[in-house]
């Protein structure tokens, strides 16, 4: 049994030391989770903002710039810089909206889909291995913890994305 995994009641009374260990585990897990994509992106002079944009454009083809701004929580100027480079490099295509000509709908090009696949394959492999090692109950608990850590608005956005899967 893993340290600190002695039952539900003990989780209600975590010490500062146990919380510190959890925080540090999150830092190191995030470094591991982003390491493989970072190596791929570095060869293209891209960063994590590019990765996030590619991920969510892939997730919702035709999403608008406005929707992407909301999901990513970045400034318009920052997103425009990222999108400009992705469009200029032939990874993303911006099409004029069908109902509102002022809208730009975003799609990955075949080249963008290939990059997205490389980035996601690396992260899926890491997540798959971790989930298998932890087991189904831990996976559900992990999701519960992550959702509980989200601000209410972020949780609503996340849940609406998940509902779109059904």
Residue 158 lies in a domain: no
Residue 98 lies in a domain: yes
Number of structural domains (the chain) is 1
Residue 41 lies in a domain: yes
CATH of residue 56: 1.10.10.10
Residue 87 lies in a domain: yes
Residue 85: which domain range? 37-116
Residue 4 lies in a domain: no
Q: What is the pLDDT of residues 71-85, one digit of tens each?
A: 998 999 999 999 999
Residue 45 lies in a domain: yes
Whole-prediction pTM: 0.83
| Three-class secondary structure assignment of 23-84 | HHHHHHHHHHHHHHHHHHHHCCCCCHHHHHHHHHHHHCCCEEHHHHHHHHCCCHHHHHHHHH
Q: What is the pLDDT of residues 20-55, one digit of tens each?
A: 999 999 999 999 999 999 999 999 999 999 999 999
């Amino acid at each position: 049994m893993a340290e600190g995994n002695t039952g539900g009641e003990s989780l209600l009374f975590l010490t500062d030391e146990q919380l510190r260990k959890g925080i540090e585990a999150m830092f190191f897990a995030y470094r591991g989770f982003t390491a493989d994509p970072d190596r791929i992106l570095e060869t293209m002079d891209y960063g994590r903002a590019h990765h996030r944009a590619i991920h969510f454009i892939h997730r919702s083809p035709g999403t608008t710039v406005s929707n992407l701004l909301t999901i990513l929580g970045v400034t318009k100027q920052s997103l425009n810089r990222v999108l400009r480079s992705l469009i200029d490099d032939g990874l993303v295509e911006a099409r004029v909206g069908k109902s509102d000509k002022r809208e730009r709908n975003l799609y990955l090009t075949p080249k963008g889909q290939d990059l997205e696949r490389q980035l996601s394959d690396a992260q899926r492999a890491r997540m798959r291995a971790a989930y298998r090692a932890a087991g189904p109950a831990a996976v559900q608990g992990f999701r519960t913890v992550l959702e509980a850590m989200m601000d209410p608005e972020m949780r609503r956005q996340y849940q609406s994305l998940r509902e779109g899967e059904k």
